[in-house]
Amino acid sequence: MRRAVTGTPALRRLADRFVAGETLDQAVASTTGLVDRGLHVTIDHLGEDTLDAADAAATRDAYLALLGQLTDLGLSGQVEVSVKLSALGQKLATDAEQVTLANAVAICEAARVAGTTVTVDMEDHTTVDATLGTVRDLRGEYPWVGAVLQSCLRRTEADCADLSTAGSRVRLVKGAYAEPASVAHPAKRDVDLAYVRCMRTLMASKAYPMIATHDLRMVEIAESLGTELGREPGSYEFQMLYGIRAAEQRDLAARDHLVRVYLPYGEDWYGYFMRRLAERPANLAFFARSLFSR
């Protein structure tokens, strides 16, 4: 499937809607365009589920180069980075925890020098304990490291209460991974209701909520909660993915909200692209037509 998808020109073009390019230069060019339009950005160097320590080191080095570029271009005020721990070594057969932490520390140190922040993406439910553990370790030295919580998981409301501490940067998402009913709400309505409850917990606390969704009902509720709880625009932010709801991103920014676009780049775009397709039936139908009409 991976070979068929990455080798099909129509699908590569479809991927361009969600991925800013394969090279650092392409990512920086797209980032600059967004920043010029008043948006903030978090850049993800694509890659996940690395089983080789050399690949994990290469991912770390890609982030170090990226952070160096952001500094040189004067973009680090508006642009941070997002990292997946499975790309930094979380699934290695030996010394996974130590290798991951060392790679993540190197990235955080470069972000500190650049004057920006790092958010640690959340992957499937089997990784949540390890990922939150690494975030906790990183926050000892780098308190601005962001965590991600997925409202689809039954455990998340408790995690959300734990993470709702002063200054804690928390990105709230619905969750992009197919999860079993033993750990996740099977009904979308329950995922949405949990999202609202988590938003309230975060917004009512002294944490820094990062409301990451394209669901305009959630955006509206976040704005109402912000007003009800006396939060100033800028004391929380909205986040959306590159290529999705661009007009709404600009509308929100025009209403004085801080809006951050999650911008992925790199050669390993297959997993990210497939998750974006799976989220929306219309994308899947287009995908099937492109694959079988080649």
By annotation, the residues acting in catalysis are 121, 171
C-alpha to C-alpha distance for 43 and 20, rounded to whole angstroms: 10
Task: Confirm if 160 and 170 have CB atoms less than 8 A apart.
Answer: yes
Least Cβ distance, residue 94 to ligand FAD (angstroms): 26
14 makes contact with ligand FAD (CB under 6 A): no
Asked whether residue 139 is marked as a ligand-binding residue, the answer is: no
Contact between 269 and ligand FAD (CB under 6 A)?
Answer: no
Give the nearer residue to ligand FAD in terms of CB position, either 177 or 270: 177
User: Would you say 214 is a known binding-site residue?
Assistant: yes
Out of 283, 286, 290, 291, the residue judged to bind ligand FAD by CB under 6 A:
283
| Least gap, CB of 17 to ligand FAD (angstroms) | 8
Q: Which of residues 142-201 bind ligand FAD (CB under 6 A)?
A: 148, 150, 173-177
Question: Contact with ligand FAD (CB under 6 A): which of 22, 279, 290, 291?
Answer: 279
Query: Given phi > 0 = left and psi -120 to 50 = alpha, else beta, which region is 74?
Result: left
Among 80, 153, 276, 287, binds ligand FAD (CB under 6 A): 276
The response to whether 206 counts as a known ligand-binding position is no
Of residues 45-104, which lie at the interface with ligand FAD (CB under 6 A)? Answer: none
Annotated binding-site members for FAD: 122, 150, 174-176, 188, 213-214
Annotated binding-site members for substrate: 84, 275-276
Binding site for ligand FAD (CB under 6 A): 121-122, 148, 150, 173-177, 212-215, 239-241, 244, 262, 276, 279-280, 283
